[in-house]
Every structure is written in structure tokens, then in C-alpha cells.
Structure 1
Amino acid sequence: MSSDRRPGPESPDDDSWRRHTDEAVSVTEETPPVTAPPGAGRQAAGDVPRPLMRWVPPPEPPVQPVRVDDEAVPPPSGEAVFAPPPEYRRPHPKGGVARRLPRLPEAVADTVLDGADFDGLTVRAASLRGDDHRYLTEPRQDTAALWPLTLDGTDALLCCVADGLGSQPNSHLGSALACRLLREETGRGAGLWDDPAAAAQDVLGRVVSGMLADARTRGIGAETLSTTLVAAVVELTPPDRPRRGVVLRVGDSTAYMLRDGLFLECFEDAHKDEAVQGSGTNALPGNPGAVEVGAVLLGNDDVLVLCTDGLSNPMHNDEVKAQLVKWWSTGPVPGILEFGWQLAFRAKSYGDDRSAICVWGR
């Protein structure tokens, strides 16, 4: 059988292929090896190193959007996904709108939320800028803060709420500073459970000293930091007995015990008349007045409430108070975001900052 295949490089009958291969081998064998010059492989001084090249695969093609049949999307129910907080007595429709951010060297958040769950005890905290400060582009002057402590060998929870005086330009700094110093000085102190009045007086004295020193460091008047303060220390014990607690305050921020559907005041409130509040109130650091101290027992289903007058003043409205009782004394404890939403209710003539901490015994 004949073949029309021509001899080529792949054909064993091609002598030229063998000859070229032998020549290539002989050239390779006779060629002297190439030696690298001295110093090759080492980077000379001043040379710029060449970057290593790495192959990068091309990006994946973008995912094409999937068309969804309009009939498969359920129609809106007409109910807002996130309902606005309640309103009372028709507040101004634009009063709660934050038009711009305050111009401050130190940022102050519009809203602060916090909370924790312990064995048989739950705490929620919120501090919200009021309608007036939002509308006037002023910072939130309230502060609310939580800290765990160990006092005289007992684990405890420190809750602190402070209300910077609206007439002072640096009171937003003062309220935050008072809470931070209270945490530091309470942690250093002793005897709070045995003699609450003496221990609280000693702690607040050191808080005043710290605030005065801070004012000198900043080069500002101490009165510009003026703030009220209310705080509680609650022991974190197993829930086999009521927990001991100590409450203290300077100024008109206050505390309640919500028990059996009633708000019971923890202090004898001398500021029943709202017209009196805000003008001559006691405040840290310059005019602390008498430190009010009380002892409480937090039992199951009790709620200890600390708050600024941004909440206590609207609570003179029976409708507001009834709603808070419903939220906080019946049903499950609200989540952190839900608690902030509850405090964000709006009421005519009550546009101050609003801060509160609630401690549920369970």
C-alpha cells in the first residue's frame, strides 16, 4: 500500500532531521558555559528593587439581576414596618427633626443605647437628644452609663444618669465626666453596703474634686460643667432573695421603684412645681448641696428606674405614666432597641433630653 506522506521532522526516514539534531547537540556540547559576573544576584546599593510579578485571575462576571414577577411580590399591608413612637398633645411636627450636626470639637452622639442580661436581672439604658436640642442644632446634654463593679467582695452593677444644665455651654462634657468619675471613685471606695450615706458623701466629694481639676486643665469655668446626677448600685446576687441597692442623687434627676403597677419615688422630691425646676437646682461641681442617699430592695418583678427630668416631667401626664407602666411592668422585658423606641415618645411642651435606666428583677 503506497503512501503519499512526505518525510518531515516527525518522520524516521528524514535524514536531514537527524543531521540537524546531531548538529544542535554538538553545538550545545562545544559552547562554553556562561558564568555570572561577580556580584550578580546581589542588589547593589542604591538600586531600586524590581517588584515581583504575580498573575491575578480576571474577576468573575457580575451576577445578573434576577427578574421577579410583580405578581409574586405581596402587596403592602398599609402598616408601617417601623412605627413612630407615640405622641401626646400634638407636639410640633418638625420639633424632633435633627436639622444639622452640632459644631463641637468632641463628638456627642444623638442617641445612646445599652443593656445587659444577668442571672435573674436585666438592665436597659437609653439617652436621647430632645426635640429642642435637635431643632436648635445643640448637643445632647444628658448621659446614661452602665458599669460592672466589685465592692467589698460583692459583684455589683453601677447605673448612672446625669443631666447637664441647659444654661451652661459645657454641661454635655460635665454630665459625661460626672458619670465616669463616679465609676472610678465608687470602685476605689468601701463601706457602701454598711454605711451608704457616709460612703456616698465621700465618693461625691472626690467626684467634685475631679471635676474642678478637669475644669482647670481645660481652662474653663467649673460652673460651665454643671450637671445633676442620679445613680444606683445594685448587687448581682443569685435571685434567691431580693437584691440590695443604694441610690444617690444631686439635683432634680430622680429614681422610682415600679412595683405592682405604681411608680414609687425613692427620694422625697422637693421640686413638685415644674416652674421651680431648672432655675435653682443643685448641681455638680460648684453647688452640690446635700447628697440624697437611700437604700432599696429589688425583688422579683420590681423595676428600678433612674431618669432625668426629661422623663420625670412628662410623667405628670397620666397617659404617659400609664403607657410606661404597661410597657415596663407587664409582658417581657423590652429589647435594647425597643427600649430606646419607648423613650422616644414625643409630648408637647416636653422637648428636653430624655435619659433613663431600668433594672428589672426577675
Structure 2
Amino acid sequence: MSQQGGTPTGHEDDWWRQLYDDSTQDTGPTAAPDTLDDRFASAVGTVSDRAPEREPVVPPPRTAPPPGDGLPAAPAADPPARAAGHRAADAADAAEVAPAPVPVPGRAPHLPPGTGRAAPAVDYVGSGPPTYDAEPTALPPADPDDLDDLVADTVLDGARYGACTLRAVSLRGDSARYRGEPRRDSLLTARFGTGENALLLVAMATGARATPGAHRAAAEACHWIGRAVGRSHARLAADIRAARRGDLKSGLHRLTDRSLGKLRASAAEQGVEPEEYAATLRCLLLPADPDCRTRVFFGVGAGGLFRLRDGEWQDIEPRVADVVGEAVMGFGSLPAETPDGDRLTMDLGIPTPPSPYEPAPPPEPPREPFRFRASVARPGDTLLMCTGGLAEPLRGEAELARHLIGRWSGPTPPGLAAFLADAQVRVKGYADDRTAAAVWEA
């Protein structure tokens, strides 16, 4: 697996102090921000194979949520100040950041929530079997002088801290397995700090489609956000416990902006277009403090954020129309001459038209908004963050949604092998890489 990204300079250290004035350093057997090449999840295995084509996916219509499905207040066991802070953050999140939860089609048949009876494991669901066999076919080509560039077919990891149990997996899609292409998805799981002050980070990225360095761009995006979060983990953990939502959103926006901006610099060094060395990025922050049930999601680009509650999936991904904030650098941000990117005349403030003697500048690529959600989990919830490879079939195939409800509604989380089996259930017409992280609340 390729791990790329340089060590920031002293000039950048000053920038970090200005952003998050935290001088705490990692001292225990935890992840060091500058050695995240060793923090990628291991336990390599192989899994299924599918058709190289993907059918169009039309998400189900968004409907009003059931009554009383807003985010809960902090648990009664919390200290009064902390509980009040959680309730304030929860109300602000429901009002500003994310749309109301929307059920994903499908409820588990014959499985009352909490009964502990899991649905049987299956290889595929849907209208019929995928085109190809359920095992990898071809390995990606290898360069004997650059073996670090190889990417494992499957990566699996897990942990248990505080009130939550984490399972995470990244596996190569059927199309890439059949063609012998590397996995474009990258996964990073890391713990910064010790004891109840520790902070867990799950980062996943997907490189641009049909580009030779897609897997390297995804890995680099995970490295940079990991280093950024690691250097500021003490301040971030304190902000999460105190429910300082505004500070969290602005700080994480800057960290994401800075990290994805590194990809543009890498593209320039390699002499390629920025859009050819780009990646989506989705992250989850989980405090190890058992008294804090705030879960923070942030990132840029397509994917999914779902919550399994009371035997039903809820799509809680912040919609683009609801996202507040500027675009993130590296995804088509406009030039900095003005807030709108226009070059203004000195006197009148009128945009200068292009000269008829000069070619018009190329159009800017679409802008990708920064997505953020901070919510308070309830006991029995399962939170799922995933890339588009799993989000699209989960939204588009009701049988997959029902199957995962049956598998994940029991009182105990699945083991690593069982979680891998669940994540690799195939659906005909969906052949992209899949990366998912699920959090079970005790």
C-alpha cells in the first residue's frame, strides 16, 4: 500500500499553533501524527468479484421523518454542564447542519430490534447474481523498484473504546478485481492520546476515477488529515466534550482545506492536472470518554452517512443544499482576488471582461462543499460512514438495506470476520470499491 506525504516544515508548525494552540504531544503507545504510514489498518484478506459496469442509481425520494426522530439530548448520567452543552449542540445540528433523518427503504422482516437473531450471511442480494465470481481475478501490476506502491485487496480493523465499538473495512471492487486495477479507496484508523482523553479518527478517501495515481492520492489525503488531527487532538477532544460546535466546524474545515490543498501541490510537482490527483475525504471523530456520546462527521465529496435506529435505516448525510460554508481548496475553489473570484477594476468594482486578444480561461471545476455533522448517539444506535461504493447500493437496493438491518440489529456488534462478510455482500450493477466504518453504541 502506498503511503505518501512529506513532513511539514517549521513554517507550517506556526500555522498549526495559530489554528489550534495545542502543544500537547503523544506520549503513549498511540498514533504519532508524523508516523501515520504505520497506522493503516492491517489484517489483509480477499473477498468477492462483480461486474465491471455500474447501473444508474436513483436515490429514493426524501420524505418527512417520523415524529420525534430528532437528535436526543445528552444522557442523564452526564454532568449538568456537559449535558446542557450536548443538548445545545444537538439542537444546533438539527437546525442548521443536516437534513432531518430520512429512512432508507426496508425494514428487517421477522426481526424485532434487540432480539439478537441475526439474518443468515449471504453472498449477494437483489435481482440476480453479479456477472463474475465472488473472488479476485487479477492482481495489479507491480514495479520491482517501487513495491511500496502496491495496495492490498482488503484491509480490516476494529476497536472498542468508551461506549462504542468500531469496525472498519476497505475492499477492492469487482470491476477493479476483474481488470487487475489497484483499490482506489484508502482507509486510516488511528488513536491519538491515552485514557479518557484519547480521540479516535477514522478517515477514508477515494481517488479520482480512471487516473493512474488514484490510490496514491487517496492514501495521501488520509495521511494529511491524520497528521492534522493528530497534532490538534487534545484541543479537538476538549471541544467535542464541551460541545463547542462552532469551533469544531471552523477548525475542521481549515484542517480539511489544508490537507486537500496538499494534493494540489503534489499534482503540480508531478506535472498533472489537479483533478487527476484528487480525492474525496470522509472522516469520523470518536472520543474515548465513556461519558461523551458526541460523534463528529466531516469531509468533502460523495458517500454516505447512515444511522440504524429502532430497526430502521436513516440517511443523515448532510445534503449539499443544507451545507453552510465555503468550498474546500483543491475541489474547484475560485481564485482569491474577491470572494466570488472576479478580477475587479481599481475604481468601479466591475468585473473585467476577458480580452478579445487572449484566450478565455478554462472553466473552473465544480465546487465541493465542506460537510459537517455533530450528533449525540443513543444506546443501541449503529452509525455507518461509507464511500460511494457502499452508499449507492444501500440507497438503491432495498434488499441490501433489509439484510444489513437483520445482521446489525442484535445486542452485540459483529466480529471482524462477520463484519467483513456483511460489508462484501454484493449487488448486481454496483462494482466500485467499498470502504465502511460502523460504530455500535452500548
| TM-score interval, smaller chain | 0.5 to 0.7
Aligned ranges 1:205-244 → 2 under 5 Å: 205-238=257-290, 241-244=291-294
Instruction: Name the SS for the 1:177 alignment partner.
Output: helix
Encode CA deviations 1:64-90: one digit per residue, 9 max, x unaligned.
Answer: xxxxxxxxxxxxxxxxxx976234322
- Which residue is 2:407 aligned to? 327
Contact in 1 for aligned 2:320/2:369 (Cα 8 Å): no
Structure 1 residues 187 and 83, CA gap change in structure 2 (3 angstroms): closer
Contact in 1 for aligned 2:218/2:279 (Cα 8 Å): yes
Please provide the CA RMSD for this pair.
2.6
- Which residue is 2:374 aligned to? 295
Q: Which runs of 5+ in 1 are unaligned?
A: 1-81, 272-281
Partners of 1:299 and 1:311 lie apart in 2 by 24
- Which residue is 1:54 aligned to? none
Letter in 1 for 2:250: A
2:197 to 144, 154, 157: 154
Instruction: Give identity over the alignment, percent.
Output: 29
Contact in 2 for aligned 1:97/1:135 (Cα 8 Å): no
Larger radius of gyration: 1
C-alpha displacement at 1:163, in angstroms?
1.8
Partners of 1:284 and 1:150 lie apart in 2 by 29
Q: Which runs of 5+ in 2 are unaligned?
A: 1-119, 144-148, 322-326, 333-366
Range that drifts further, 289-298 or 351-360: 289-298
Instruction: Name the SS for the 2:431 alignment partner.
Output: coil
C-alpha displacement at 1:93, in angstroms?
4.2
Encode CA deviations 1:92-133: one digit per residue, 9 max, x unaligned.
Answer: 342544222111441111111111122432100111111111
- Structure 1 position 312 matched with structure 2 position 364: no
C-alpha displacement at 1:226, in angstroms?
1.8
C-alpha displacement at 1:171, in angstroms?
1.4
Contact in 2 for aligned 1:182/1:204 (Cα 8 Å): yes
- Which residue is 2:170 aligned to? 127
2:226 to 159, 167, 183: 183
Partners of 2:169 and 2:185 lie apart in 1 by 10
Instruction: Name the SS for the 1:180 alignment partner.
Output: helix
Which has the bigger relative contact order, CA under 8 A and spacing at least 6? 2
Bigger fraction of residues in strand = 1
Aligned ranges 1:53-92 → 2 under 5 Å: 85-92=123-130
Partners of 2:286 and 2:248 lie apart in 1 by 12
Large movers: runs of 4+ above 6 Å: none
Contact in 2 for aligned 1:96/1:132 (Cα 8 Å): no
Encode CA deviations 1:27-58: one digit per residue, 9 max, x unaligned.
Answer: xxxxxxxxxxxxxxxxxxxxxxxxxxxxxxxx
Letter in 1 for 2:432: D
Letter in 2 for 1:204: T
1:98 to 133, 136, 143: 136
Structure 1 residues 93 and 205, CA gap change in structure 2 (3 angstroms): closer
C-alpha displacement at 1:244, in angstroms?
1.3
- Which residue is 1:66 aligned to? none
- Which residue is 1:261 aligned to? 311
Contact in 2 for aligned 1:228/1:283 (Cα 8 Å): no
TM-score by length of 2: 0.56
Structure 1 residues 263 and 242, CA gap change in structure 2 (3 angstroms): farther
Partners of 1:165 and 1:284 lie apart in 2 by 16
- Which residue is 1:116 aligned to? 159
Partners of 1:87 and 1:134 lie apart in 2 by 20
- Which residue is 1:248 aligned to? 298
Contact in 2 for aligned 1:158/1:232 (Cα 8 Å): yes
Instruction: Name the SS for the 2:198 alignment partner.
Output: strand
